[in-house]
Amino acid sequence: MPKKKKTKDPRKEAKKKLVEFGSEVLESIKKTEPPRMKVPSRSTSNILYDDKNRFYTLGEKAGTRTAANMRQVKKFAQTMCAAEFCRSLIDADKTATLREMYYTSEGWETGGFSDQGRSDKVVEDLESAFGVKREDLGLLPEEDGASIFGELVVDEGGMEVNATEAGRAGYTIPPTMNDVEFLECGAKKVLAVETMGMYHRLVQEEAWDQFDALVVALKGQPARATRRFLKRANEELGLPIHLFTDGDPFGFHIAMVVISGSAKLAYINHELAVPDAKFIGVTASDIEDYDLPTDKLRETDVKRLKQLLDDPRYSDDTWQSEIKKMLKIGRKAEQQAFSKYGLDYVVNEYLPSKLS
C-alpha cells in the first residue's frame, strides 16, 4: 500500500467553520447589525464544467441570506439551528440521518420545516457555504453504501473488517467514510459494477481473485459514500477504477457521475469525482460485436441520449461515436445479457477483453 498522507480531521474542520459562523453572527448582533451569510448559488446558470479538473463545479454567483429581510428571517434562524444541531453532533461524536434532523426541527423555537426537501436544502446551504460535506457535519443519507469483495482490510471505528471474510455479500461500507481507515490492500484495481446481480456473479466466479480486484457493487446510482470510497481507493491506494454498467443512457449516466460528478453536487464534486476512472460497460459496439439480447430504446431513452451528445462530459470522440451508434440501432442491453453464452462468459471472455 502507498504511504498514507496525514490528513486533517474533517469533522474538526467542519466544527471550526460552524463556530466561526456563530461568532460572526454574534459580532454582528453586538454591533446592532443584522447577521447575514453568503450562500453560493446552485442554480443551473452557476453550475459550470471545469475542463481542467474534469468535473462540474460552482461558479462565482452567490446570494446573501440575512435577518434584515423579513421574508428570510425564519430561514436564517432555521439555518442557525441546523448549524447548532450539527455542532452538537460533532461534539457528541454522533451522527443523525437527514430524516432525523427534519423531525428534530419540530422542537426548535423557530419551528420546523414544511417538508424534508426544505430542511435538506438548508443542509446543502451549509455544505456549499462552508465547503464541507454533510457527512463531516454528522448528517447521513438513508441509503446504504457499496458492497465490496476482495483483498481489503479496513478499520471501521475500531473494528477490523476483511472484505473477503464478511460473507458472500462482502463488506458494506457505512453511510460515511470518515471512520474508515485502509489497513491492507492486496488488490491492483477496482471493478465497480452497476447491479447487485452482476456483483454476485463476479464474486461467485472469483473475479476478484482472477483480476486482482476489489469488486464493488454500485447498486444503481451510487450513494455518496460509495463515490467517496472509489475516490479514496483511487487516490490513497493508487487503484485504477473500472466502471462496468448497462448499455443504456442510465448506465452511461451512472458511470459518468462517478467520473465527473453530478450537476446537483457541483459544490462537493472535488471530494467525490474520479476523473481517471475508465468506462468498460456495455456499448452499442458491444451489442453488435457480441450479438447481445437487447430491448428497444424507449422514447425517454432516445431523448436522454440526444441530451448526452450535448453534455460536455461526453465530448470525447468515443462517447460521441457510441451514443450515435446506439441511437442508430435503436437498441440497449443489460450487463447480464452476456449470460446468453453462459454464466461465466462475462468473467472469462468479456472483462478480460475490456481490461486489456
Please identify every residue annotated as catalytic. Answer: 103
The reply to whether 194 sits in an annotated binding site is: yes
Residues 148, 234: Cα–Cα separation, whole Å: 15
Residues 46, 255: Cα–Cα separation, whole Å: 24
- Residue 42's identity, in one-letter code, is R
Provide the β-strand partners of residue 172.
147
Q: How far is CA 262 from CA 81, 228, 288, 300, 304, in A?
A: 28, 13, 30, 20, 15
Structural contact between residues 296 and 330, judged by C-beta atoms closer than 8 angstroms: yes
The reply to whether 27 sits in an annotated binding site is: no
- Residue 110's identity, in one-letter code, is T
Q: How is residue 29 written as a grid cell?
A: 448582533
Alpha helices in 279-329 (DSSP H): 284-289, 299-309, 317-329
DSSP state of 110: T
- Listing DSSP states for 259-271 in one string gives HH--STTTTTGGG
Task: Give binding residues for Mg(2+) as ranges.
Answer: 194, 246
